[in-house]
């Protein structure tokens, strides 16, 4: 994902809303350098953290504890999270009585633990979805790569051969032929983002299954070291039939310290555009959408910046593809 526009120490993304490139404030950048360095200590740490579920379980237990609540205010401050957009937690019926340091920030003390804060929900009306049938809304609030066709010369975010439908979906189910040479969207969620993901259109689930695997980080530095991350990491795959975009492969990829991928929608029920599908617990994560050949293509700004090696930041529900 490295290109001439960014150095090894900076991650450049394109912000659709300011229409400019900016340097991302990377959460855990020091840890990423430590784990994905080239020395022997880094190799040992990487092996222990990515191959074993124990570290994720331990970290998950901490972030589910009351002690972790104390991390929330500083996290909000450091990453400039606009808390008035979110529903408060349910830690106390009297959360509103607690003094707020900054009146512009929703009361961070309303969350029982860091994980409850991490999976915070938007207030009604804070995000919207396209009403035009030919426009696909963003399934996650994230940084997007996209291509109108998966091919062997593809170079983002990793070498093209690692992004074949067969590798992403596995060979247990015969669905890969539907997505050969089809369009693709890769949505990278940072730990600072809203961590719930949604359905991009009306439809139903045909089949869903889990692929077990490692828990490498999906951060750009980690992808440079382990380009096979998306096919080696644990992931949840759903083949869905949509009203306007044909069949989609909806893939939720776990990552370093993501102890759980939670499905909140009953998969044997039909779904509506914008309806919540599930959420990731603590950690950076990824949602990948595969489509059928020429059924749709990513938005122009995502395509343009993707082929320059730059992700495009898009809010939940805003247009990411067109038919």
**81 domain-assigned:** yes
Position 6 scores a pLDDT of: 45
Contacts of 79-87 with CB under 8 Å at 24 or more apart are 79/25, 79/27, 79/192, 81/192, 83/108, 85/122, 85/123, 85/126, 86/120, 86/121, 86/122, 86/123, 86/126, 86/194, 87/120, 87/121, 87/122, 87/123
pLDDT tens, residue by residue, 108-133: 778 989 999 999 999 999 999 999 99
Same domain, 236 and 298: yes
Please tell me the distance from the alpha carbon of residue 237 to that of residue 278, in angstroms, as a whole number.
12
pLDDT tens, residue by residue, 143-162: 999 999 987 766 665 544 45
Same domain, 139 and 113: no
Q: Is pLDDT at 75 greater than 60 in this prediction? A: yes
More confident residue, 207 or 191: 207
Contact 256, 216 (CB under 8 A): yes
Same domain, 161 and 212: yes
Position 49 scores a pLDDT of: 54
307: confidence class by pLDDT, cuts 50, 70, 90: confident
**Domain end residue (candidates: 118, 152, 176):** 118
Please tell me the distance from the alpha carbon of residue 158 to that of residue 270, in angstroms, as a whole number.
34
38: confidence class by pLDDT, cuts 50, 70, 90: low
Q: Is pLDDT at 256 greater than 70 in this prediction? A: no
- Among 143-147, 191-195, 218-222, 305-309, name the one with the lowest average pLDDT: 218-222
Same domain, 81 and 54: yes
Tell me the pLDDT of the chain averaged across its residues: 80
103: confidence class by pLDDT, cuts 50, 70, 90: very low
Q: What residue numbers bound the domain in which 71 lies? A: 12-118
3: confidence class by pLDDT, cuts 50, 70, 90: very low
Same domain, 106 and 146: no
More confident residue, 46 or 289: 289
Same domain, 208 and 99: no
Average pLDDT over residues 17-34: 72
Structural domains of the chain, count? 2
**124 domain-assigned:** no
**35 domain-assigned:** yes
Q: Is pLDDT at 81 greater than 50 in this prediction? A: yes
**128 domain-assigned:** no
Position 165 scores a pLDDT of: 81
Same domain, 204 and 267: yes
**265 domain-assigned:** yes
Same domain, 234 and 318: yes
**Domain end residue (candidates: 60, 93, 118):** 118
Same domain, 176 and 291: yes
pLDDT tens, residue by residue, 176-186: 889 989 999 99
Same domain, 99 and 145: no
**142 domain-assigned:** yes
Position 61 scores a pLDDT of: 83
Q: Which residues pair with 205 in a beta bridge?
A: 240
Three-state secondary structure string covering 229-257: HHHHECEEEEEEEECCCEEEEEEEECCCC
**90 domain-assigned:** yes
């Amino acid at each position: 994902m490295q290109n001439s526009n960014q150095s090894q120490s900076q991650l450049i993304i394109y912000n659709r809303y300011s229409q400019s490139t900016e340097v991302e404030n990377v959460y855990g950048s020091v840890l990423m350098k430590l784990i994905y360095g080239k020395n022997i200590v880094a190799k040992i740490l990487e092996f222990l953290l990515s191959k074993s579920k124990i570290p994720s379980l331990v970290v998950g237990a901490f972030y589910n504890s009351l002690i972790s609540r104390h991390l929330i205010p500083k996290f909000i401050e450091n990453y400039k999270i606009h808390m008035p957009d979110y529903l408060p937690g349910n830690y106390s019926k009297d959360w509103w009585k607690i003094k707020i340091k900054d009146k512009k920030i929703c009361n961070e003390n309303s969350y029982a633990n860091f994980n409850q804060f991490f999976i915070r929900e938007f207030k009604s009306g804070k995000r919207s979805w396209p009403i035009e049938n030919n426009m696909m809304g963003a399934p996650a609030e994230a940084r997007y790569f996209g291509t109108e066709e998966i091919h062997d010369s593809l170079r983002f975010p990793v070498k093209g051969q690692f992004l074949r439908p067969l590798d992403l979906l596995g060979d247990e189910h015969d669905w890969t032929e539907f997505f050969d040479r089809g369009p693709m969207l890769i949505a990278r969620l940072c730990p600072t983002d809203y961590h719930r993901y949604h359905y991009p259109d009306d439809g139903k689930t045909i089949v869903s299954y889990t692929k077990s695997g490692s828990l490498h980080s999906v951060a750009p530095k980690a992808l440079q070291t382990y380009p096979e991350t998306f096919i080696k990491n644990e992931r949840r795959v759903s083949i869905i039939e949509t009203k306007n975009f044909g069949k989609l492969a909806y893939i939720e990829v776990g990552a370093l310290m993501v102890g759980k991928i939670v499905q909140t929608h009953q998969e044997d029920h039909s779904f509506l555009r914008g309806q919540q599908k599930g959420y990731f617990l603590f950690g950076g994560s990824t949602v990948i959408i595969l489509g059928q050949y020429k059924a749709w293509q990513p938005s122009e700004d995502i395509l343009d910046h993707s082929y320059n090696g730059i992700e495009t930041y898009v809010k939940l529900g805003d247009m990411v593809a067109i038919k």
